[in-house]
Amino acid sequence: MNAKTAFTPQLLEIDCDKELDKISEAIRNTLGRMLHKRGLVLGISGGIDSSVTAALCVQALGKDKVIGLQMPERHSAEDTQGLSSLLANHLGIREVSIDITPILEAVCYYDKYDEAVRAAVPGYGLDWKSKIVVSDITEDKAYTLFSVVAASPDGRMVKERLELSSYLSIVAATNFKQRIRKMLEYYYADLYNYAVAGTPNRLEFDQGFFVKQGDGAADIKPIAHLYKTQVYQLARHLGLPEAIINRPPTTDTYSLPQGQDEFFFSVPYEVMDLCLYGKNHGFSAGDVSRHTGLTPGRVSAIYQDIERKRAATRYLHLAPVLVTEVPEIVCDPIVKKDLG
């Protein structure tokens, strides 16, 4: 238990001016002294994380040294393109739009995904919509289990737990989206001698909510140390458009709208931030429960799940493992301690 400070949600409040200066300096130093690149490319989706990351890149480098890639596909939310363009116009950055549907069709993503869902929901047809959801870890069960929720054209909803082969097939196919987007980001980075900015927030980074060599790949991740609550604080401080700030967090991955809490965390991000902060700073489950609406038992279950997800997703953070060290080559970047 943290004996020095009482736990309150206000502990997540940051000095936005100081944070902006810190991140700007880190971006400039990283690009200029470490990476030797001339600007930054990032994928923009109209979501809060990519929007704040883009704004921070502009703050650090100027709008002429930032390129935003919009990469929608068949299942993208209807407001994704509009909000992405809104952001790009607001920041004055160059925006490149690439529909990745043909690329996904070329790798048979849609066929593979539909086939995997059909194994769990036999009646699943081409005009159905679906999403993947996770079991509620606050129900005192220790296992994170995945189900597919499918909606028929006449509005029937079907939910089926995914068995191993269906789950792996869906994950493998869906990961194409993030990896194809990253491939395009690095194409533009190479074209302009730029680096690639990743956009995970602290919760996503900590809990492995990204695809290896997909959205997990980047040269710099300017907001990976910030709780999502803090990302929103910066968004307001930077004066980002209200439509972006007010948009509900979404994975924007499936044909049915899917909140990020439905897929990975099973509780709203505001609650997860408090739990993650509480755990990271030694607060008891009881301290945190008073501000989350959850029982101490459920906060304890979340604490335990945080550790299990860290263990299960540790491999996503690893650089390639060498059998024997090659001491002349430094693989791990130097991270300034005050960014931790």
Partner 1 sequence: MMKHESEVRKFIAEKFFFGEDNKVPSAASLLDAGIIDSTGVLELITFLEEQFKIKVDDDELVPENLDTIAGICAFLSKKIT
The DSSP output letter for 122 is T
Binding-site member from 10, 18, 102, 143 for partner 1 (CB under 8 A): 143
Binding-site member from 1, 126, 142, 326 for partner 1 (CB under 8 A): 142
C-beta closer to partner 1: residue 74 or 314: 314
Partners of 97 in beta bridges: 70
Binding mask 261-300 for partner 1 (x = CB under 8 A): ----------------------------------------
C-beta closer to partner 1: residue 161 or 317: 161
C-beta closer to partner 1: residue 232 or 265: 265
C-beta closer to partner 1: residue 281 or 314: 314
User: How many C-beta atoms surround the C-beta of residue 220 within 10 A?
Assistant: 22
Coil, strand or helix: which one is 130? strand
Residue 247 token pair: 């948009």
Residue 155 token pair: 């509005």
Q: Which of 243, 259, 272 is nearest to 48 (CA)?
A: 243
The interface region with partner 1, picked from 64-72, 143-151, 199-207, 241-249 by CB under 8 A, is: 143-151
CB of 136 to partner 1, least distance (A): 13
* Residues shown for the chain: 340
CB of 203 to partner 1, least distance (A): 17
Which ranges of 30-108 does DSSP label H, i.e. alpha helix?
Answer: 48-61, 80-91, 101-106
Which ranges of the chain does DSSP label H, i.e. alpha helix?
Answer: 16-29, 48-61, 80-91, 101-106, 109-120, 164-192, 202-206, 228-237, 242-245, 260, 269-280, 285-289, 296-312, 314-317
Binding-site member from 168, 172, 191, 331 for partner 1 (CB under 8 A): 168
By the rule CB under 8 A, 164 interacts with partner 1: yes
Q: Which of 264, 252, 198 is nearest to 225 (CA)?
A: 198
By the rule CB under 8 A, 145 interacts with partner 1: yes
C-beta closer to partner 1: residue 68 or 208: 208
The DSSP output letter for 318 is P
C-beta closer to partner 1: residue 100 or 137: 137
CB of 308 to partner 1, least distance (A): 6
The interface region with partner 1, picked from 81-89, 92-100, 141-149, 252-260 by CB under 8 A, is: 141-149
By the rule CB under 8 A, 308 interacts with partner 1: yes
Binding-site member from 161, 281, 290, 317 for partner 1 (CB under 8 A): 161
Binding-site member from 25, 64, 105, 163 for partner 1 (CB under 8 A): 163
The interface region with partner 1, picked from 24-32, 50-58, 162-170, 324-332 by CB under 8 A, is: 162-170
By the rule CB under 8 A, 141 interacts with partner 1: yes
Coil, strand or helix: which one is 10? helix
C-beta closer to partner 1: residue 164 or 323: 164
The per-type count for the chain, helices as H runs and strands as E runs, is: 14, 7
Q: What CA–CA distance (Å, rounded) separates 48 from 230?
A: 11
Q: Under a CB-based contact definition with an 8 Å cutoff, are residues 257 and 47 in contact? A: no
Contacts of 10 (CB under 8 A, 6+ apart): none
Q: Which residues of the shown chain bind partner 1 in the complex (CB under 8 A)?
A: 141-146, 161-165, 167-168, 308, 311-312
